[in-house]
Amino acid sequence: MDINEQKPLTEKSLFRIGIISYLILFILAIVFFKERTILLDSSFRFFYMLKDGNYVLQVNRFGSVFSQSFIYFSYHLGLPLKYIMINYSVGFIILNALVFFISLKWLKNSGLALTLLLSNVFMVACTFYWIQSELIEGITFTLLYFGVLQHFAGKDTKVLRLIILSVMLVTLVFFHPLMIIIFLFISIFSILSTIDKKHLKYLYSGIPLAFIILLFKTFALKTKYDTAASGRIVNLLEYFPNYHKLESNGIFWNYVMHDYYFLPILLVTVTLYYLINKLWLKAGLVSAFFWGYLLILITSFPTSTDQWHLESFYMPLGIFLLLPFVTDILPRIKKSYGLALIVLITGARLVHIEHKHEKFTAALNWKRELLAKTADLENRKLLIDAKQVPEGMFEQTWSSPYEFWMLSTLEFDEQRTVLIYNTRHEVRQWDRYKYKTRFLTKWGSLGYDELQSHYLKFTDSTTHYVFYDLPRSVPE
């Protein structure tokens, strides 16, 4: 039986759910566009894309060109900063919706379409606001790849189709180092779910090709960032066999309880279904990937509590359960009940995503208030000790110059520089804070003469950076 032979829902019902869900996400992306863009990597990306008028493709993850295009073309159209930010914020929703409707209407693959829709909300909380994760973008692209692969498998083999699949596979592998795990899971699951010989041929040939691409990427195009991240795999040996004692176990299950409450329900449902129906290979596949991948995460981040970052790594766990649920279980539920179940899940998750904004809005308000309180200072280029900053106002302080630059430009019609530092020693080591005409960051500084873009106009060239103590009047 083919992976998409049985429809989980009628196409009409799924189309309506998709329209409503993505419309709500689209509206939320507009309402909270500041929370989604004046944050961490997004603000960094904005600064350098507007500085150079070009894409910022880091550590060979060129798959992000799709989402960055919303900034790129907005920049070259000369749109105001506000509308570039809005376009970037909604761009991720548009891309997901586009893949959903392509999968549903053109590829006629309702299973993958529904898997994508559910993955866009199922384990999404902080990552709706921390939008710049190539791993999350890569999941969407991977589902599209398998939809296109199955579609082409049903047609005559042509060179153009093979080229398209090859280019997509290269892009998939380059999205993120962990994409190979998701790719391998979907490949094996698809092999176990189809008897179509041509489809199987495509699936079998894709696996070695993906590993060849990965090996080339890993050794010929090595980057320090990915090498360091991949080095965490040795923690499996370091913490053996005391995995259960790691702090990360409690952190993960605490997040499950508060934010990913559907995950254990789905895990039990899928596991029991396969065991009851004696589908041993699929039961083993799901268990191996779910628990094996979770073990890698638990040991890779033994003490980290940065949910915005960890959540992006947790999301493949949802794929390991959603695809089996949509493919094998949902089609066997009465369609009216199945429809109600999907509406319940998506509805609950959309409400949860909206409520999650409070933390990010509070941080944004704190930064806004700080800019307002210091607007009349003689020296307004500020260096602030991270110890004085209330907890939760910054996810990480390295992005503070970019975040304050965006917010001051957007709301105060001037370009301010505020840098949150960890120790005065590191600031004095830079020796750049004495300059009057440089934009200071944690990794160096840029002279105002280097910022040629009309979006970057730092006009305060008479004052230097000053160490600033936060007044108690700044709200916590």
Chain segment 396-409, per-residue pLDDT in tens:
999 999 999 999 99
Report the DSSP beta bridge partners of residue 384. 420
Residue 473 has pLDDT above 60, yes or no: no
Count of domains for the chain: 2
17/141 same-domain check: yes
**Helix, strand, or coil here: 422?**
coil
pLDDT band for 432, please (50, 70, 90 cuts): low
329/379 same-domain check: no
Q: Which amino acid type is present at position 243? A: Y
| Spatial distance between the Cα atoms of 25 and 133, rounded to a whole number of angstroms | 17
Query: Does residue 387 form part of some domain?
Result: yes
Which residue matches tokens 């790594």?
313
| Spatial distance between the Cα atoms of 403 and 371, rounded to a whole number of angstroms | 11
* The pLDDT of residue 430: 63
Which residue matches tokens 């980290």?
304
Phi, psi (rounded to 5 degrees) for 442: -70, -15
Query: Does residue 208 form part of some domain?
Result: yes
State yes or no: cis peptide before 401, omega within 30 of 0: no
Of 329, 355, 381, which marks where a domain is finished?
355
* The pLDDT of residue 222: 87
Q: What is the mean pLDDT of the chain?
A: 94
DSSP 301: S
**Helix, strand, or coil here: 474?**
coil
147, 168 contact by CB (below 8 A): no
Residue 476 has pLDDT above 90, yes or no: no
- The residue range of the domain holding 137 is 11-237+319-355
Closest of 9, 6, 31 to residue 85, by C-alpha: 31
* Element of type H or E holding 284: helix 280-300
State yes or no: cis peptide before 241, omega within 30 of 0: yes
DSSP 328: I
Phi, psi (rounded to 5 degrees) for 84: -65, -40
- Contacts of residue 377, defined as CB under 8 A and 6 or more positions apart, other chains included, come to none
Query: Does residue 277 form part of some domain?
Result: no
In order, the DSSP letters of 90-119 are HHHHHHHHHHHHIIIIIS--HHHHHHHHHH
Of 355, 377, 405, which marks where a domain is finished?
355
Determine what percent of the chain is predicted with pLDDT higher than 70.
97
pLDDT band for 5, please (50, 70, 90 cuts): low
| Spatial distance between the Cα atoms of 118 and 326, rounded to a whole number of angstroms | 10
Residue 199 has pLDDT above 80, yes or no: yes
CA distances to 206, 212, 228 from 218, in Å: 18, 10, 12
Residue 159 burial (C-beta neighbours within 10 Å; 0-12, 13-18, 19+): exposed
Query: Does residue 395 form part of some domain?
Result: yes
Query: Does residue 297 form part of some domain?
Result: no
Supply the pTM of this predicted model. 0.95
* The pLDDT of residue 345: 98
338/382 same-domain check: no
Residue 151 has pLDDT above 90, yes or no: yes
Positions of E strands within 329-471: 381-385, 418-421, 438-441, 444-447, 465-467
Closest of 232, 24, 6 to residue 110, by C-alpha: 6
Torsion of CA 132, 136, 139, 144, to 10 degrees: -40
Query: Does residue 69 form part of some domain?
Result: yes
* The pLDDT of residue 424: 81
386/448 same-domain check: yes
348/393 same-domain check: no
56/76 same-domain check: yes
* Element of type H or E holding 183: helix 179-193
Read off the pLDDT of residues 310-330 as tens digits, 9 standing for 90 and up. 999 999 999 999 999 999 999
Query: Does residue 68 form part of some domain?
Result: yes
Residue 217 has pLDDT above 90, yes or no: yes
98/67 same-domain check: yes
CB atoms within 10 A of CB 207: 15
- CA dihedral for 366, 372, 374, 380, sign (positive or negative): positive
Residue 475 has pLDDT above 60, yes or no: no
Residue 228 has pLDDT above 90, yes or no: no
- What's the average model confidence in pLDDT over 22-51? 97
| Spatial distance between the Cα atoms of 255 and 269, rounded to a whole number of angstroms | 20
CB atoms within 10 A of CB 368: 18
331/445 same-domain check: no
* The pLDDT of residue 142: 98
Query: Does residue 63 form part of some domain?
Result: yes
Torsion of CA 270, 272, 275, 278, to 10 degrees: -70
441/351 same-domain check: no
* The pLDDT of residue 472: 65
Report residue 130 as tokens: 């921390």
402/342 same-domain check: no
Closest of 109, 112, 128 to residue 120, by C-alpha: 128
